[in-house]
Amino acid sequence: MHDPRVLLDPATDAVRKLARRGFSLDVASLEKLLATRNSAIQRGDEARAESKRVATAVKGAAPEERAALVTRARDLKGVVSAAEEEHRAAEAELQDLLLGIPNLPADELPDGASDEDAELVRTWGERPELDFTPLDHVDLGEKLGILDLPRATKLAGPRFAVLRGKGAALERAIARYLLDLHTQRHGYTEFSVPTLVNRVTMTGTGQLPKFEQDLFKTGVGDRELYLIPTAEVPLTNLHAKETLELEQLPLAYTAHTPCFRSEAGSYGKDTRGLIRLHEFSKVELVRIVDAERSRDELEVLLGHAEAAMQGLGLAYRVVKLAAGDIGFSAEFTYDIEVWLPGQDAYREISSVSDFGTFQARRAGIRTKAKDGRRGFAATLNGSGLPIGRTLVAVLEQGQQADGSVRLPEALVPYAGFEVLEPA
């Protein structure tokens, strides 16, 4: 969320920056609401100050003056009440407007609004050279006997998956490998967090109010709850409404959770197999940092996600997303795209984003330095990695001519086997 005064400051250049991501800032409405709110605050403050003066004057007033002063005090009480009501109404309308304004994209992002406009940063690893026609992960999974989509559809409808036998073991192995990597080598603290959260928590990281149609909503009695789309939501909001000592930053958190997304509007795209499911699991990485170091911390976070890919020996590339293609709360995003031989294409496996102070302002995550300086923290998050898409990459890059799949060495101790054989 933004400070409205900063948005209206010509030096911020908010209109141009937001236009790069296809958003038109309603400057007139913003100015009007801000002026209305400030005017109401001023009138209320002036009326309260006069009310105090009148109350003092009543105590020493002559009888013939007291009645007029009492009437004036009553009138001032009404002025204060009206000003407070106008302030509340203007503040609520202003907050609604601000909650719908996305973050300002960084100037160094390329122009554009699609993945075709992304800027290549680097590639890593050798794409497998296969002397046979590669299968995609769905055909591989079915031939190996580890993937059962028809029964998943029977249980819950389309866009769900069932893994069985060594497929389920491989899923568990990937999660354990990733958690050990990030906690033992990269210094993240692991959390077990709720997968149902309230509206305030969803609003803090930017999922609400704009993306309510993408969420699964439920409730207990009169409690309104949402299934998390990513562990970013509870991990970031662990420190909502808190003031953190600046010298204690950065904080590095991770969690392995199920994730739930309606994927509204994506039907017909990536709906086959494990790429785009309603329910999947992911190891998420969150960093809460000094706002002045957020871009440096983004490179650290990207390095951790890349280390997970490199540890698995998966060929990938890193791209810098275009200004119009980054998420609502992000100001800068890298995507890691893994090579999938079965699709003959690179596909996104991890997004790593710097949100600046945008989420911290919404969630109320403040900082205080030893010298008394106060501000807002910066937040960052990245996939480190999604279990399903990582499994897809392991299957497709590890497939052999005889239909088997050889696992990356890093997974063998966790899985307990080296090769998946056709059923």
Q: How high is the pLDDT of residue 26?
A: 96
Residue 161, token pair as written in the block? 């998956």
Residue 198, token pair as written in the block? 């309230």
d(CA 354, CA 334): 9
Classify residue 218 as exposed, middle or buried by CB count within 10 Å of its CB (0-12, 13-18, 19+): exposed
Q: How high is the pLDDT of residue 272?
A: 81
- Same domain? For 196 and 83 the reply is no
265 pLDDT more than 80: no
The total of structural domains in the chain comes to 2
Q: Is 351 part of any known ligand binding site?
A: yes
In a domain, 196, yes or no: yes
For strands 366-368 and 243-245, give the pairing. parallel
- Same domain? For 57 and 174 the reply is no
- The mean per-residue pLDDT over the stretch 150-154 comes to 97
- Same domain? For 71 and 179 the reply is no
CA-CA-CA-CA dihedral for 394, 400, 403, 408, to nearest 10 = -30
pLDDT confidence bin for 66, thresholds 50/70/90: confident
Catalytic residues: 261, 276, 348, 351, 389
257 pLDDT more than 60: yes
* Domain end marker among 76, 100, 124: 100
Q: Is 230 part of any known ligand binding site?
A: yes
59 or 394, greater pLDDT: 394
DSSP 399: B
d(CA 121, CA 118): 9
Q: Is 39 part of any known ligand binding site?
A: no
Q: How high is the pLDDT of residue 266?
A: 56
Mean pLDDT estimate for the chain: 95
pTM: 0.93
Mind listing the pLDDT tens digit for each residue in 5-52?
Answer: 999 999 999 999 999 999 999 999 999 999 999 999 999 999 999 999
CATH number of the domain to which 198 belongs: 3.30.930.10
pLDDT confidence bin for 59, thresholds 50/70/90: confident
- Same domain? For 88 and 122 the reply is no
- Same domain? For 275 and 411 the reply is yes
> Under a CB-based contact definition with an 8 Å cutoff, are residues 230 and 197 in contact?
no
Residue matched to tokens 């026609």: 133
Q: Is 350 part of any known ligand binding site?
A: yes
Q: How high is the pLDDT of residue 268?
A: 55
pLDDT confidence bin for 216, thresholds 50/70/90: very high
| Helix (H) or strand (E) run with residue 76 in it | helix 63-99
d(CA 243, CA 238): 12
Q: Is 284 part of any known ligand binding site?
A: yes
- Same domain? For 20 and 88 the reply is yes
- Same domain? For 244 and 300 the reply is yes
Instruction: Return the SS3 of 224.
Output: strand
Residue matched to tokens 């309308």: 93
In a domain, 144, yes or no: yes
CATH number of the domain to which 24 belongs: 1.10.287.40
User: Shortest CA distance to 38 belongs to which of 97, 93, 86?
Assistant: 86
User: Shortest CA distance to 381 belongs to which of 294, 268, 257?
Assistant: 294
Please give the residue range of the domain that contains residue 86.
Answer: 4-100
* Domain end marker among 53, 71, 100: 100
- Same domain? For 87 and 219 the reply is no
